[in-house]
Amino acid sequence: MRTKEERQRAKEERIRLKIEKKEEKRRLKEEKKGIIKPTEAPVEKEPQVESMKDEPKKETPKKVSAKKEESKEEIKKVKDKEDTLEDKDVEEDKKNMKKNYHVSRREKDGKWQVKFAKGEKAIKLFDTQAEAIAYAKDLAERNDGTHTIHKKDGKIRKKTY
């Protein structure tokens, strides 16, 4: 199980990657519209030699288009990797979430029910609130979760973490 600091770092990293992704999309749009001059992908830069500064640069259009295609392919690969990392992080967060069991009173018959958080069906029904609380506590302990106890009117009476 990850610590709070690790989860925070992972969240910050996901946010940073999303921002970089948006900036790259914006830059590519502006290049396409002609607002800014096209730039090569910032992945690799070749070292410049002083003797080459005096000579004029001669590039054919084919080389430029090949470089653009390569940079687009690299960007696509990076985006695919980011998407898979985000999916894995979301799945991990779901697995690490604690299950929350609610003890509440049913409107139609007045019995006490134990339900999973945001669940529609009751796990089990009881005649008294004390029996329902004991069952919810046991479920929470066995499944490494929490339980929440509601009053007759539905307001939260006690929440255990």
Q: Domain residues of the chain, as ranges?
A: 4-43+61-96, 100-160
> Distance between alpha carbon 156 and the CA centroid of its chain, in Å?
29
Task: Return the ∠ at Cα 7 (arms to 22 and 3), rounded to 5°.
Answer: 170
Contacts by residues 105-108 (CB-CB < 8 Å, ≥ 24 positions apart):
105/129, 105/150, 105/152, 105/154
pLDDT for 103 equals 93
Residue 103 contacts by C-beta under 8 Å, 6 or more apart in sequence? 112, 113, 114, 129, 132, 133, 136, 147, 148, 149, 150
Per-residue pLDDT of the chain (161 residues; tens, 9 = 90+): 678 888 888 888 998 998 998 888 888 888 877 766 666 555 444 444 444 445 555 555 555 555 666 666 777 766 676 666 666 655 655 556 678 999 999 988 999 999 988 888 999 999 999 999 999 999 889 988 899 999 988 888 877 75
pLDDT, residue 135, reads: 94
37, 31 contact by CB (below 8 A): yes
How many residues are recorded in the chain? 161
SS3 109: coil
Question: How far is Cα of residue 145 from the mean position of the Cα atoms in its chain?
Answer: 22
What is d(CA 56, CA 44) in angstroms, rounded to the nearest whole number? Answer: 22
Distances (CA, A) of 53 to 4, 45, 47, 49, 56: 52, 16, 12, 7, 7
pLDDT at 45: 43
Q: What is the pLDDT of residue 5?
A: 86
pLDDT given at position 53:
47
- 91-100, pLDDT tens digit by residue? 655 556 678 9
